[in-house]
Chains A and B, each alone.
Chain A
Amino acid sequence: MQRIGVFVCHCGTNIAATVDVKKVVEMVRYEQGVVFADDYMYMCSEAGQEKIIEAIKEYKLTGLVICSCSPRMHEKTFRACAEKAGLNPYMVEVANIREQCSWIHKDKEEATKKAVILARAAIAKVNLNTPLKEGESPVTKRALVIGGGIAGIQTALDIADAGYEVDIVEKEPSIGGRMSQFDKTFPTLDCASCILTPKMVEVNQHPNITLYTYSEVEKVSGYVGNFDVGIRKKARSVDFDKCTGCGECMTKCPLGKIGHIPSEFDRGLKNRPAIYMPFAQAVPAVPVIDRENCTYFKTGKCGVCAKICPSKAVDYEQQDEIVTVKYGAIVVATGFDIINLDKFGEYAYNESPDVITSIELERLMNAAGPTGGHLERMSDHKQPKDIVFIQCVGSRCDNEEKGKPYCSKVCCMYTAKHAMLIKDHWPDTNITVFYIDVRTPGKNFDEFYRRAVEQYHVNYIKGQVGKVMPQPDGSLLVQAADLLDGKQIKMKADMVVLAAAIEPNPGVRKIATMLTASIDNNNFLTEAHAKLRPVESPTAGIFLSGMAQGPKDIPETVSQAGAAAVKVVGLLAKDKLKTNPCTAQCDTLLCNGCSTCANVCPYGAITYEDIQVNDHGLRETRRVAQVNLALCQGCGACTSACPSGAMDLQGFSNRQITTEVDAICR
């Protein structure tokens, strides 16, 4: 027989304003097993915890029910408190009478009734609780970072500098991400490659960092502290050790001139050869052959690059290679791209080469870009005199066929940056920006945008563009609203630049599935707690860095990257991890070896073995399920799927749960 103490928290007025806490105490006092019941203003406070400890000692309690906020908030706190008083932490149950009761109800009488019911369910469960003991598992002291943009680079550097080994897996031939495509960066306008290239080189040379470029994560198994990751190293067709990065092959590949292979890095504004490095400062400085376009791979002829290469590094026979590496922690830093603009026909993006996206503009202004940094129209190579910027293209758009409901956060700032950079180089340019709101919060950010207006006289007009109409003379007619002056305006432009909405890199869905990390409706990775655990995924051992978690600029990305690194280091610094004792167990007498459980287990924790059983004197061999306790995360999928009721979860046994339901229905 348990001796249970029930503690009802007011949570200030959060609970007490809607739930009559005194009444709850009176109503549960005579429940089975309850020997003590009380209420208090803040159970989680030091004084509240003192009360619990005293009661455990004085009344020799064997179980606790805390009626308070969600267990996600304070279960840990109360378990630790119980442990302090010598009680097994798994003898504590939390009845959530805040999120599931006081916050969602108005009627005090009804809410009080519900709080009593929730408390009774928890009491019924504690009556069946048994002490559980956490196990231990070792920690592999190596981290994996998926994505080599500024987020991945910074996270890897910080982990490596703390003394741990870290690998970066980057799907492109070079690390660098979006930032390597930019000309200058807000808010200080320093040259992007001047600040990024040294970091890329540092990553390449760091003794603790291993780079897997042109590679992808293919398989993940295991759990926090002990992940096994299969990485596919795509065949580069160039021998890493022999290549000196001289670039001869790239200049001689005949497809460079006649191939019409659009350069991904230059957003199709320029062509590239079949053997290529995305950009001059690529890290590693080893080219890859794009086998889909290479003449040798298509027809067996050509082979120019192999002949010309002074180091004999070109290797057409190279194969994809799969390596399996063990990691203790994984950071997702897969970044973003911009949305497809096909659904925005009104802006004529697919009709006119002079309607471009902001990333294309970055390339057009970059000294290493397709025009050598000279801003020109793609149609006639003339310098544009009148430029119109359109903000929020596809951002803040509830029509999910077309756009995204969120604000992309970086476009207001980069447009101000683009406008000022253009005015700096070519002061005679007239620039108009059509906006819905100018959103520039951040240190020195609003001042930055105001400088575009006040110093550079960039014309900001509140209102959207309805239509961009290419004209026979090659110009673009822009029809827009000036909401503050209450006018519809038509103006001619030589170039229109679209601030297209950002979206998480589409490949993140696959990654998230492999990692069992959750993502939201927009494919951004979900954090364990929006405010208090912003760089952790709810899945233990998985951390988040950069745009993959939500829209953010470089300063924010770098801060988040550092935060993720600290969390990783905090994990790798441990020699052992406590494992969750709430794992599944198979009752071999009931199991008929049907395999249902193994099929639903997301962690691959279930295997089968043949055992000898003695069924009423009949000896037979039976195939039964076996749970690998180190892999089981206690999700409970198997227990609800098992048709024979053989699978049961410690701490959440079928009996405990039905007893709770009974208590609710009483």
Chain B
Amino acid sequence: MSFTNVENQVELIKEISGSDPYKCMKCGKCSASCPSYNEMDIKPHQFASYIIRGDVDELLSSKSAWKCLSCFACIERCPRDVQPGKLVDAARQLAERQRGGDHLQADEIPELLAEDLPQQLLVSAFRRYRR
């Protein structure tokens, strides 16, 4: 996945996640809350700067992208409503969209529960459907 226009990519991620990475003040409360922190190479408080810089590829190829449990502890506690969990989720979704997997049919889900779809995507999909 590659983007020529960094601002555009940031805009897309902002749109999907509904959050603004520029608001992050690097206080570290997300990293302090994250149950997967020790498993991650890029830590939650770094997500925002990776996205601002356009280093989405690096973020997605890191362990962190798939170690995030979508537990949303960080989202709950972030003092500036940056929602790093949603940012990384948006990055994952962006990658999926680029691969053509744009949306999900409810009755396809049981089938997808099988091997290769990352658990995290399903979790966030469920959250979306529940609304």
Contact = CB atoms under 8 A, between A and B. Distances in A.
Nearest to A462: B26
Contacts of A454: 20, 22-23
Contacts of A484: 26, 45-46, 49
Contacts, number: 19
B25 interface: yes
B72 to A, nearest CB: 23
Interface in B68-105: none
Contact of A450 (B25, B26, B45): B25
Interface in B42-62: 45-46, 49, 52
A457 B26 contact: no
B49 A457 contact: no
A453 B26 CA distance: 12
A453 B45 contact: no
Contacts of B20: 454
Interface in A408-462: 450, 453-455, 457, 459, 462
Nearest to B23: A454
Interface in A457-486: 457, 459, 462, 484-485
Interface string B22-37: 1101100000000000
A459 B51 CA distance: 13
A484 B46 CA distance: 7
Contacts of B25: 450, 453
Nearest to A483: B26
Interface string A147-170: 000000000000000000000000
A453 B25 CA distance: 9
B47 to A, nearest CB: 11
Nearest to B53: A459
Contacts of A485: 46, 49
Interface residues of A, number: 9
A451 to B, nearest CB: 10
A458 to B, nearest CB: 9
Nearest to B7: A457
Contact of A457 (B22, B45, B46): B22
A455 B46 CA distance: 19
A315 to B, nearest CB: 61
Contacts of B26: 462, 484
B39 to A, nearest CB: 17
Interface in A318-352: none
Contacts of B23: 450, 453-454
A11 B99 CA distance: 74
A457 B52 CA distance: 9
A587 B26 CA distance: 72
Nearest to A456: B22
Nearest to B49: A485
Nearest to B25: A450
B27 to A, nearest CB: 11
Contacts of A453: 22-23, 25
A228 to B, nearest CB: 56
A292 B49 CA distance: 55
A454 B49 CA distance: 12
Contacts of B46: 484-485
Contacts of B52: 457, 459
Interface string A621-665: 000000000000000000000000000000000000000000000
Contacts of B49: 484-485
B100 to A, nearest CB: 31
Contacts of A459: 52
Among B22, B23, B46, residue most surrounded by chain A Cβ atoms (within 10 Å): B22
B21 to A, nearest CB: 10
A623 to B, nearest CB: 74
Contacts of A450: 23, 25
Q: Which of B20, B23, B49 has the most CB of A within 10 A?
A: B49
B79 to A, nearest CB: 12
A128 to B, nearest CB: 63
A245 to B, nearest CB: 49
Contacts of A457: 22, 52
A455 B22 CA distance: 8
Contacts of B22: 453-455, 457
A457 B22 CA distance: 7
A484 B44 CA distance: 11
Nearest to A459: B52
Nearest to A453: B22
Nearest to A446: B25
Nearest to B20: A454
Nearest to A454: B22
A455 B26 CA distance: 17
Nearest to A461: B49
A484 B50 CA distance: 11
Nearest to B50: A485
9 contacts: A450-B25, A453-B22, A453-B23, A453-B25, A455-B22, A457-B22, A457-B52, A485-B46, A485-B49
Interface of B: 20, 22-23, 25-26, 45-46, 49, 52
Top-9 shortest CB links A-B: A454-B22, A454-B23, A484-B26, A453-B22, A485-B46, A457-B22, A484-B46, A485-B49, A454-B20
